[in-house]
Every structure is written in C-alpha cells, then in structure tokens.
C-alpha cells in the first residue's frame, strides 16, 4: 500500500522553496534546563504530545511541480533524537559554537523535517537544540507546540510510550474531491454574501468603508512592491551560509514594563527601540557611516488567533517591513520614532498583503517565486521576531526550563536574525549572524543591554516631573 499523501498548501510551498545553501529554512530553539532529562522520559513526552501532530511523521514528496506531505513508512523516533556532548568545558560559548554549527547545516529531506539534539552536562543540567523546517509551520505556532510539551509543575505524569500506528486514510476519488472543493467554495460564497448583505443593512456607510479598505490594501501592496532596496551597509553583504549565534543574560520584564509605562508606550515599542539602538551602536563602533534613512527589518505578524488551540500546523502569518531609525542618536527620540512607525503599521494591511503574495508565489513557477522573493529580501536588512512566552516557569519531563531561545530563518540575501522572547518574568534576546557579515554577535548582545539601561534611565527622569506635578 502506498503511503498516504496530503497536498502542501501554497504558502507552505513558498517557505519550502526558499531553502538555499546560504539560508536553510529552519526554525531553531535552544532550551536549557536545570537538571538532566532522562532520554526515555523525553521520548515518552514526544510520543504523546509532539507526534500527535501528524506532520512530524511526514516527509516532503515531489511529483513534478506538485508537492505533497507523505507519511514516512520508515519513521522512527530515534532517527530524530541525537544525544551529543559539548566540547571543551561545556561553557555557554561552547554551546553557542555548537548551535552555530548545527544551524548552518540543512535538515535531511529524506525524512520528516525536524531534529532534536540532546546536549548533556550543560550548566549542571542539559539543553535541547530543536530544529524544525519552516514549511511545517510558522514560528509562533511551533513555539506553542514546543510549550505544549511542558507542564506547570515538575511532578506531572507522563504516559507510557504506545506504538505509533500508521493512519489508514480512505482517499476519495478525483470526482469526489472535485465535488468537495465545489461544495466548500459554494458554502464560503453563500456565507460571505450573507455577511455582505447584513453589513449593508446594518451599516449605512458600509459601501464607502469597503471601498476605502480596498483602496488601503491596494496602496499597501504598492508600498511593498515600490519600496526602495536597503542601503548598502555592512549588514547587507554576500552570505557564506555559516551562522554565528549568541544570546545574553535576560532583562527583567518588570523593568521593561516600567520603562514602557513611563514613556507612554508598549513593551514592544521599548524592545524595538533598544534593538535599534544596538544596531546604531554597531555602526558607531565599526566607524561606518549610518544611513540617514534608517534601515528596515522584516517582522512576522501573526494572523492566527492566539486564544485558539493549534489543531492544524502550517504557516499563517504575514510580514511587515518596520523602519528602524538607526540614524537617531538620542534614545528618547529613537523610541518616539519607533513608536510612531509601529502605530502606522498597525493600521496598515501589510501583513495580509505579504501573506497573499506568499500564497500567490507558492502557486506559480519556482523561478518566478525565487525572483519575487529575492526582490522582497532586498528591502530588509534583518528579520526580527518578538514572541510572548509563559508568564510562569514550565517543566519538561520534570526538569525546569531555565532559559529558552528561538530563531526564525532568514531568506534571500538577509543574513541577520534577531529574536526577542519573554518568559517567566524575563526578556530573552538573541541574534544569528551570517559569517559573511562583519558584525560581532556577542558585541551586539552587549549593545542591547547598554541601550536598554540608557533608555530606562531617561524614562525614570521623564517620570519624575509627572510625579512631582501630580503631588503639587
């Protein structure tokens, strides 16, 4: 019997096609724990909570131009879990060097596209390096999947391993599949017509509102297409395909919240402006002329409701191009400008536009998509993600998660990925830099903390006059 197959969606196909020697399309996570995790217990957790998503037992299959998800008839969990020891003394630097090396290595396309390296004897406990291909799902969904492996207490019970039984799908005939598509399209059309007529009856200005929305979408589409390429800086250099990663001691989330409140902004505004300041300082230290128009970063924008459980994987997000005012020296002015840029983007349809473009590219020829995605990658110098995590500590197989770090891949000629992740009252910041780019990841980690401390100090001074005014 032939293995069961499922057509890959156009958007997921876009992310699969972005795979290149310079930029493997992997979402990676480094999870460090306060104590070793028994391998057998880790396998129980994965069998029970990870492999319940069928996609992790499927590999990519090609039939001409068509791409499918195919059940792997030889699937074995042991092929995806690799115990490994750190070289040297097992320090943070040794772990970062190992992660850099593995993140430069593509996954095996003959198997389901994920791997976990179990790193023993790290910092008195252990660490997991998880690598999952972007075509399986977007970063926010995969973070939620990984967090679903954890518990709120260290003594939660784990089920015993049960043998994985291949799912026997009854494949409908071509005529039945055609009828199903026609039926689904008809139901969708009827529902959309009903909502349209209801809006016409209930909202007097609905036609004008609809026309204005369509106009705004068209304008945002033009803005994405006509945006100029990024200025020539040290951040836009030919890529080598070798990655260097680094992450720092986390910030205190309470301090970040206090800073945001004092400045009348959001936590996201603070962290983006601090990242901007770190890049500004990189240009200063490198004695490089700073582009007076700033630089742009591509920021993933989630289009999947966070209050709904993840039942199906896949990519459901768009990208927005955020202008970072790296030419602004004053931290307060940098914050205000970043805040204004973010508020403007929140009112735009750029995320929906880029999601639709990815869907369109995924349906077209491979060469057309590569050219279009190459054009889009010229419009950003880095990818920056900001994902909220659990507010309280979590435990995997009884071990406490001490520090999590996540990265999404870069595409085209983008060689820098920055990641911000909040967890248990802290804010984690990490960076991945292609070796062809003349930027020191460890130095940028230091710049990030220095710029936060500068902004927090200025925020406290801004707060004092308001406090004195209220007292008087």
3-state SS, the chain, equals CCCCEEECCHHHHHHHHCCCCCCCCEEEEEEEECCCCCHHHHHHHHHHHHCCCHHHHEEEEEECCEEEEEECCCCCHHHCEEEEECCCCCCHHHHHHHHHHHHCCCCCCCCCCEEEEEEEEECCEEEEEEEEECCCECHHHHHHHHHCCCECCCCCCCCCCCCCCCCCCCCCCHHHHHHHHHHHHHHHHHHHHHHHHHHHHHCCCHHHHHHHHHHHHHHHHHHHHHCCCCCCCCCCCCCCCCEEEEECCCEEHHHHHHHHHHHCCCHHHHHHHHHHHHHHHHHHHCCCCCCCCCEEEEEEEECCCCCCCCCCCECCEEEEEEEECCCCCCHHHHHHHHHHHHHHHHCCCHHHHHHHHHHHHHHCCHHHHHHHHHHHHCCCCEEEEEEECCCCCCEECCEEEEEEEEECCCCCCCCEEEEEEEECCEEEEEEEEECCCCCCHHHHHHHHHHHHHHHHHHHHHHHHHHHHHHHC
State which of 8-17, 166-175, 376-385, 448-457 shows the largest mean pLDDT.
448-457
Greater pLDDT, 374 or 15: 15
Inform me whether the pLDDT recorded for 448 exceeds 50: yes
pTM above 0.75, yes or no: yes
Positive/negative CA dihedral, 11, 16, 20, 23: positive
Quote the tokens at residue 219.
Answer: 């304008």
- Given a contact cutoff of 8 angstroms between Cβ atoms, the answer to whether 8 and 68 are in contact is yes
Quote the tokens at residue 225.
Answer: 């297409």
Lowest mean pLDDT among 58-67, 190-199, 307-316, 431-440: 190-199
How far, in Å, CA of 158 to CA of 9, rounded?
A: 34
pLDDT tens per residue across span 346-360: 655 454 455 455 555
- Given a contact cutoff of 8 angstroms between Cβ atoms, the answer to whether 92 and 30 are in contact is no
The number of CA neighbours under 13 Å toward the Cβ of 78 is: 2
State which of 186-190, 381-385, 404-408, 450-454 shows the largest mean pLDDT.
450-454
Quote the tokens at residue 82.
Answer: 């690799």
pLDDT tens per residue across span 107-147: 999 999 999 999 988 888 999 999 999 889 887 788 888 88
Contacts of 59 (CB under 8 A, 6+ apart): 69, 70, 72, 109, 110, 111, 112, 113
pLDDT tens per residue across span 239-295: 999 999 998 889 999 999 999 999 999 998 999 999 999 999 999 999 999 888 888
Quote the tokens at residue 179.
Answer: 């009828």
Positive/negative CA dihedral, 143, 146, 149, 151: negative
């Amino acid at each position: 019997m032939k293995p069961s197959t499922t057509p890959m969606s156009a958007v997921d196909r876009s992310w699969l096609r972005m795979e290149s020697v310079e930029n493997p399309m992997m979402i990676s996570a480094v999870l460090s724990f306060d104590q070793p995790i028994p391998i057998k217990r880790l396998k129980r957790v994965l069998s029970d909570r990870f492999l319940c998503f069928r996609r992790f037992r499927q590999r990519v299959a090609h039939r001409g131009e068509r791409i499918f998800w195919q059940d792997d008839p030889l699937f074995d969990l042991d092929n995806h879990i690799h115990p490994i020891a750190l070289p040297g003394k097992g320090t943070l630097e040794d772990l970062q060097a190992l992660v850099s090396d593995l993140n430069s290595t593509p996954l095996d396309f003959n198997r389901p596209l994920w791997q976990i390296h179990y790193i023993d004897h790290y910092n008195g406990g252990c660490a997991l390096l998880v690598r999952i291909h972007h075509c399986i799902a977007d970063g926010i969904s995969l973070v939620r999947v990984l967090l679903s492996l954890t518990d709120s207490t260290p003594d939660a019970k784990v089920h015993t391993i049960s043998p994985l039984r291949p799912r026997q799908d009854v494949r409908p005939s071509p005529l039945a599949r055609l009828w199903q598509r026609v039926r689904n399209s008809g139901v969708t059309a009827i529902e959309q017509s009903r909502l349209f007529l209801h809006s016409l009856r209930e909202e007097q200005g609905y036609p004008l509102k609809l026309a204005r929305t369509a106009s705004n979408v068209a304008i945002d589409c033009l803005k994405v297409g006509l945006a100029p390429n990024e200025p020539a800086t040290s951040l836009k250099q030919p890529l080598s395909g070798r990655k260097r990663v680094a992450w720092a001691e986390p910030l205190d989330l309470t301090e970040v919240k206090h800073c945001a409140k004092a400045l009348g902004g959001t936590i996201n505004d603070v962290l983006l402006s601090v990242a901007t300041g770190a890049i500004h300082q990189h240009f200063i230290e490198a004695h490089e002329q700073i582009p007076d128009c700033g630089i742009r970063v591509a920021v993933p924008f989630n289009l999947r409701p966070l209050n709904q459980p993840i039942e199906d994987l896949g990519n459901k997000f768009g990208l927005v191009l955020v202008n970072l005012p790296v030419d602004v020296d004053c931290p307060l002015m940098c914050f205000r400008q970043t805040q204004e840029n973010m508020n403007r983007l929140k009112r735009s349809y750029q995320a929906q536009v880029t999601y639709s473009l990815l869907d369109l590219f995924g349906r077209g020829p491979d060469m057309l998509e590569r050219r279009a995605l190459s054009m889009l990658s010229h419009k950003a110098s880095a990818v920056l993600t900001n994902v909220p995590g659990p507010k309280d500590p979590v435990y995997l197989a009884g071990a406490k998660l001490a520090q999590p770090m996540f990265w999404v891949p870069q595409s085209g000629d983008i060689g820098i990925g920055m990641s911000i992740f909040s967890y248990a009252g802290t804010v984690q910041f990490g960076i991945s830099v292609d070796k062809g780019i003349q930027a020191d990841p460890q130095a940028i980690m230091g710049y990030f903390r220095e710029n936060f401390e500068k902004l927090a100090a200025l925020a406290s001074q801004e707060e004092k006059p308001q406090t004195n005014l209220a007292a008087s």
